[in-house]
Amino acid sequence: MHPGLIGAIGGSVLGLAGGIVGTYFSIKNTNGPNERRFMVKASVVTWIAIGIFLALLLLLPNPYRWFMWIPYGILLPLGIIFVNKREVQIRAKESGFAAS
């Protein structure tokens, strides 16, 4: 087998495994039912969005596929910030404290 193919398959498997483990622990480490529900929804949206991104990277011709990194590079950090802030708000509401 060609070393590049082995690296591509191995990297894909490791990346997918890391995503699955990260998703599992993000959901497992929630504190209440509302937070868990939100984290499941956020995980589903993230998996779908990254799946669409990867499909477009594979299907679009050059140079258009490289333009997909622009929205990804903007929307991923914004999505992370949104999920983290929302999770803090849900935790504060479920614990009885006002969110700041």
Task: Quick: pLDDT tens for 46-80.
Answer: 999 999 999 999 999 999 999 999 999 999 999 99
Looking up tokens 């990804």 gives 72
pTM of the model: 0.81
Return the ∠ at Cα 20 (arms to 99 and 78), rounded to 5°. 40
3-state secondary structure of 100: coil
80-96: per-residue pLDDT in tens? 999 999 999 999 998 87
Q: Name which of 26, 70, 66 is nearest 46 in CA terms.
A: 26
Contact 95, 30 (CB under 8 A): no
Within 8 A by CB and 6+ apart from 100, the residues are 92
